Amino acid sequence: MSADFDELLAILDLDRVDDDTFRGAHPSKNPVRTFGGQMMAQAFVAAGRSLAHPVPPSAMSVHFIAGGDPAQDLEFHVVRLRDERRFANRRVDVMQNGQLLTTALVSYLAGGKGLEHGVEPPELADPLTIPPIDDLLQGYEDVVPHFVNALRPIEWRYTNDPAWIMRDKGDRLAHNRVWMTARGAMPDDPVLHGAALVYSSDTTVLDSIITTHGLSWGHDRIFAVTTNHSVWFHRPVRFDEWVLYSTSSPVAAESRGLGSGHFFDRSGRLLATVVQEGIVKYFPARTTASA
């Protein structure tokens, strides 16, 4: 899987066309449409590379408008909304063949020391004592082939049964908690560490919408697509160290579901908060009435 990690670093190394335009490639393994986490991470890098001063990110808000074609490069057009020594704002429009796919707003703020508090992380087993996701996919290659064959640059270690195993057991889960870390050595570049978090924030966050109902990808007929995604950065992150992504779903209604999550470091400090909305449709299997 180190090759997958190398591919992630390669696609985050955007080609600079001019001061405010970047070009980004796709990896060798792709879903039918460009993975949203990839577009967000690349947009985050484009915004960060345009900063006049090194200011830490405070928030990113993304709206998905159209799907991308993995066979073609993406263009990232940066709009400089504000540039000061302690504040900055960027808009990044992700384009392909003249079509707007995604627009992202990224804000930066060097706030300095102040009041501190945060939600407590759940008490969970150490990540080194938990089997990797590869072990949990064995025997389910035909159930969730899109997971088995996906690019996996990030190590996942579930603290609970993933959806496909939960479904086999007939259980329900109101939350999903996964330890994550990069599957290789990362450069000492805070933009890339933040981008790895953004990339990973688009994984598992919608799972609790379906596991709350005892459903699973692969086992059940479910259509899901992300409509918008926001990340708030509370502290600097090192994504070559273990972080916990703890997610749940506060609501599902009108064929839309909300997933929310927190990233914690290994010591329990809250690093980032995530909220994602998606269209989620479930098509129950038809039952044949008995004669």
pLDDT tens digits, 61-72: 999 999 999 999
SS3 17: strand
Structure confidence by residue, pLDDT tens digits, 133-174: 999 999 999 999 999 999 999 999 999 999 999 999 999 999
Distance separating alpha carbons of residues 192 and 44, to the nearest angstrom: 9
Residue 291, pLDDT score: 38
Domain with 264 in it: what CATH number? 2.40.160.210
On whether residue 177 sits in a domain, the answer given is: yes
Long-range contacts at 12-18 (CB < 8 A, ≥ 24 apart): 12/41, 12/42, 12/45, 12/192, 12/195, 14/42, 14/45, 14/46, 14/49, 14/76, 16/49, 17/75
On whether residue 291 sits in a domain, the answer given is: no
Which positions of the chain have pLDDT values less than 50? 288-291
DSSP 168-200: HHT---SEEEEEEEESSPPPS-HHHHHHHHHHH
On whether residue 217 sits in a domain, the answer given is: yes
Strand partners, 253: 256
Q: How many domains is the chain partitioned into structurally? A: 1
Residue 2, pLDDT score: 80
Structure confidence by residue, pLDDT tens digits, 213-226: 999 999 999 999 99
Residue 111, pLDDT score: 87
Structure tokens at 262: 């927190």
> For residue 173, how many other CB atoms are within 10 A of its CB?
20
Q: Tell me which H or E stretch contains 260.
A: strand 256-265
